[in-house]
Structure 1
Amino acid sequence: MKPLISIVLCTYNNADSLEITMNQLATMDQPEPGLIEIIIVDNNSPDHTAQIAQHFSTRHPHFHYYFEPKQGLSHARNTGLEKAQGEYILFTDDDADIPANWTKEYINTIRNLSPDCLYSKISIIWDRPKPWWFLPQYTPCFVGLDYGDSLLEINDIHREFYGKNFCVRKTLLIELGGFDPNLGRQGSKLAAGEETLLYRKMVWAKNKVIYFPSAGVGHRLKEREYTSENIKKLFVDGAHSSFHIAKLTARKKLMGRPVRLLIDALTNSFSASLKFIFALVKMDKAARFYHYLCICKNLTLIKLWLKSS
């Protein structure tokens, strides 16, 4: 019997955190045997990820380990898609904190509603004081997600999911072309957007997309995620993802370049510059840093637009 859900966990160079997550996956509730398989895709990790993953795959028959040598999260996720046997694929990460009832809640929602895609909450786990620069505006950068305590049927592009906690029907994911290798993390490059593109395609196609609050996971932060250097890199690297998505989805283009993106980047650069000056006058260090990052991101977008062919 094929499983209902294939859990795909892609990992890169985070073996100790991976071991915590895999222990949680190994001990979570399963309402019936055979409904779940767990696929670990090692994206060319230089640490001891292989030993950790192979240890679990030999002890638990529903754990399967694969190595993906092509660097990039989208490559790893596409390998997981290829290997998965389940009707649905449930994605998570090596820094996810998994509750015992996680798959049970997904199974119940799938059986009750038969959605094409469903996803749930992600809470940020702060194990030390928040950095001086942290503002609520950064929540998406930390993959925090909370759209409330009621089930929602999603029909707009403003409540997107993140790869740490979303599930999609396998046949639909194949139909959509899987994950774009030009998007997503690639080693130390903190790009994103691979879920964004899929999410928008599903909304535009009027697929049945469900947010439900009862299967939330946590996000264990890495040490570098508390640093100002890391959040700046997220903003700048993320501009590359935003530009690629805009090129693929823009309705109006000039010489093959997305017009709306350039207008927005110019407008936002000017606005962020004014807000930066205002924060400087007010001696609001956190706000000043945030607007500086916005300037960096929008200037990167403008530079990419000018260099694009």
Structure 2
Amino acid sequence: MPPFITVALCTHNHVDRIKRTLADLAQLQPPVKPWEFLVIDNGCADGTSELLAEMAWRPAGVAVRVVREENLGLSNARNRALQEAHGEYLLFMDDDETPDPAWLVVYEQAMLEHQPDALGGRIEVLFEDGERPDWLQDELLGFLGKLDHGEARWLTERTTPIFGGNFAFRLSVFDRIGNFDARLGRQGSANNGGEDTEIYRRLLEHGCRVRWVPGAIIQHRIQTPKLRRDYFLDLHFRQGRMEGARKRGNLSRVPPRYLVPQILRAYGQAIALRLKKGSAHSLRQEMNAAYFTGYVVGWMKDPI
């Protein structure tokens, strides 16, 4: 019998993280219908491939496949999952996450009851090996993947996206909306993003039915010693750079004048807040300044 759900995990050189993720699969409550577990080895060279070749981690009674994708990039790995999946629904998770035991069961119930085109679930942030830094304000947790849209409902607005660490699609929907944009998303150590919110916008533009499933909970494990302010700044610089190049299109590479006051305002607010309240309170404004800096650089230098 073909699986109803394909759970796909895409990984690149995170052997230290994926060990726990694979071990945590044993706690999952089995859904009613068959499911399969698909791992996309995205050019791993750190021992991940050898770990995946072992048998001990594989959940009992579940079809498991490991496929290697040499084209580096999270979107490339997800697109490979689209080709390889056998399920009616394709559910994505990341290699540094621990699903709630009822995760699969809750998703299956929502799929059977509502028959949506796509679904998203709640993501919590777990600081697994240290204390949360003082400068990491609540408003920044969304950039670490935290997501909560409240009660179960249909999502119809761009302001309520679903995130790649915990979203699912009816596999046939990609025939309508197209695959993941390979220009977006992490590529090796490059701190890119935006592929999940971009495909959510496409879902809405094509009139797809997107269901919010708050009971399908994932814990995104954060390795606290690796948290750095420059991670957030680099993320926004890169995002601005991509959007600046796209906005420019075929126009002149000379940035428009309206960007000048926006940049000055962003830097002014960041400096003022840092002087007034200290660095523990100014990072969000500094991220805005990094975004506008990247926007200008992308406008002037980058191809579309």
TM-score, structure 2 length as denominator? 0.89
Match for residue 124 of structure 1?
A: 125
CA contact (8 A) 2:12 2:42 kept: yes
The 1:240–1:86 alpha-carbon spacing in structure 2 relative to 1, beyond 3 Å, is farther
Match for residue 139 of structure 1?
A: 141
Match for residue 38 of structure 2?
A: 39
- SS of residue paired to 2:183: coil
Match for residue 96 of structure 1?
A: 97
Q: CA deviation at 1:241?
A: 4.1
The 1:263–1:133 alpha-carbon spacing in structure 2 relative to 1, beyond 3 Å, is farther
Q: CA deviation at 1:283?
A: 3.9
Q: How does 1:277-292 map to 2 (within 5 A)?
A: 277-292=271-286
CA contact (8 A) 2:116 2:211 kept: yes
The 1:305–1:27 alpha-carbon spacing in structure 2 relative to 1, beyond 3 Å, is same
- SS of residue paired to 1:299: helix
- SS of residue paired to 2:280: helix
Match for residue 29 of structure 1?
A: 29
Structure 1 unmatched ranges of 5 or more = none
Q: CA deviation at 1:254?
A: 6.8
Matched, 1:79 2:80: yes
Structure 2 unmatched ranges of 5 or more = none
TM-score, structure 1 length as denominator? 0.88
- SS of residue paired to 1:202: helix
CA RMSD of aligned residues (A): 2.5
Runs of 4+ in 1 over 6 A off after TM superposition: 261-264
Q: How does 1:174-213 map to 2 (within 5 A)?
A: 174-213=175-214
CA distance in 1 between partners of 2:156 and 2:43 (Å): 37
Structure whose residues are more often helix by fraction = 1
Q: CA deviation at 1:58?
A: 8.7
The 1:305–1:48 alpha-carbon spacing in structure 2 relative to 1, beyond 3 Å, is same
1:219-262 CA deviation, whole Å, 9 max, x = no partner?
01135641123222222223244446xx3xx7xx773589xx96
Matched, 1:306 2:300: yes
Q: How does 1:136-285 map to 2 (within 5 A)?
A: 136-148=138-150, 150-223=151-224, 225-243=226-244, 247=246, 255-256=250-251, 266=260, 268-285=262-279
CA contact (8 A) 1:279 1:288 kept: yes
Q: CA deviation at 1:263?
A: 8.1
CA contact (8 A) 1:133 1:290 kept: no
- SS of residue paired to 1:6: strand
The 1:164–1:254 alpha-carbon spacing in structure 2 relative to 1, beyond 3 Å, is closer
Match for residue 6 of structure 2?
A: 6
What amino acid is aligned across from residue 64 of structure 1 in structure 2?
A: R
What fraction of aligned residue pairs are identical, expressed as a percent?
25
The 1:132–1:211 alpha-carbon spacing in structure 2 relative to 1, beyond 3 Å, is same
CA distance in 2 between partners of 1:10 and 1:218 (Å): 16
Q: CA deviation at 1:22?
A: 1.6
